[in-house]
Amino acid sequence: MTVDDFDHVFMDSQDILQSTRKLRPQRKTAGSRNPLKKLMRRVDLQTEYTEVRNDVAERELQRIKKEQITGSTVFAQEALAGLAAKVSFDKVKLNKTDSFKAATPGGEKLVPYQDLMLIQIKGRRHCQVRLVEPVASSLNGGDCFLLVTRAGAFVWCGEYCNVIEKAKASELAAHICQKRDLCCRGASEPVQVLESRQDGPNGKKFWAALGEVGPYADPGPSEEDQLYEMYMAETNMVYRLEHDCLVPVAEYWGSVLKHELLKTDQAFVFDFGSELYV
């Protein structure tokens, strides 16, 4: 072994160190913790929305038909559309009944009351009350429901319903039983059924009155009640009869209704989408 051998070892070690330095990754600087700056750096977020509508031709055809029907008349478009509708009454069988008299047990059913009605109570401040299809799939664990039959009334409370919905459902059910409204003449007070205890005797009576025991929907998010209340209130349409014309009531159109609206010397039409009242 000579001194030159150590020189070769030294040179080889230098080459290895240089190659090792080249393979070392560069250090990354820490990113900003500001969420606004992170959003500004993102390129996968869209800032514009382009609406694509496929029903332009149908809407234009409906508009032309409305203009042809309306003409120079002063009637509301909704009233004219109802007058222009063509309905065949050839297969309709009319029964002799007095819809303004109370129905006796075993007698003819009243119109528009049905033997089985399911009412949904949903909202955060001003609960909206709407008729829904009387089936198990209409229920959900986040709202209250009122089942009205001729034999009695049942209040079904979901596990995640709020206090306002419970109070409104109990108040409405008590009023129906005390006033014997909606053909409910078999009980003086409603039966309350909790979702967590629906396997008890009251729950069995409720499912027997509904006519089916089936799965129902899960509760929605917490903000669903407030959004539902707001959107359903916007669909409220109120008309007042003035000189054989239905005139929209602007102050209550698309808002929460109040009892002060009703007048004993006037006639109104309330359109709630799935329900129509005069």
pLDDT value for 268 = 94
First to last CA, the chain: 116
Count Cβ atoms within 10 A of the Cβ of residue 142 and give its class: 0-12 exposed, 13-18 middle, 19 or more buried. Answer: buried
pLDDT value for 255 = 83
Sheet with 268-271, strands from edge to edge, namely 245-248, 237-242, 268-271, 276-277
Mean pLDDT value across the chain: 80
Query: Measured on CA atoms in the order 224, 229, 232, 234, is the torsion positive or negative?
Result: negative
The set of residues, in sequence order, having a beta carbon less than 8 Å from that of 258 and lying 6+ positions away, is 252
What mean pLDDT do residues 69-74 have? 62
pTM of the model: 0.56
Instruction: Convert the pLDDT of each residue in 121-151 to its tens digit.
Output: 998 888 888 889 999 999 988 899 999 988 8
Q: Residue 217 gets which letter from DSSP?
A: B
Please state, in angstroms and rounded to a whole number, the distance separating the CA atoms of residues 84 and 250: 25
pLDDT value for 145 = 94
Domains with residue ranges and CATH for the chain: 116-210 (3.40.20.10), 235-277 (no CATH)
Tokens for 184, please give them. Answer: 């409910």
Instruction: Convert the pLDDT of each residue in 230-241 to its tens digit.
Output: 888 888 899 999
Instruction: Convert the pLDDT of each residue in 147-183 to its tens digit.
Output: 998 888 999 998 888 899 999 999 999 999 888 888 7
What mean pLDDT do residues 190-218 have? 87
Distance of CA 69 to the CA centre of its chain: 33
Lowest mean pLDDT among 9-13, 69-73, 81-85, 271-275: 69-73
pLDDT value for 78 = 67
Residue 201: cis peptide before it, omega within 30 degrees of 0: no
Q: Which amino acid does the sequence have at 148?
A: V
Q: Residue 23's pLDDT band (boundaries 50, 70, 90)?
A: low
Lowest mean pLDDT among 17-31, 36-50, 109-123: 17-31
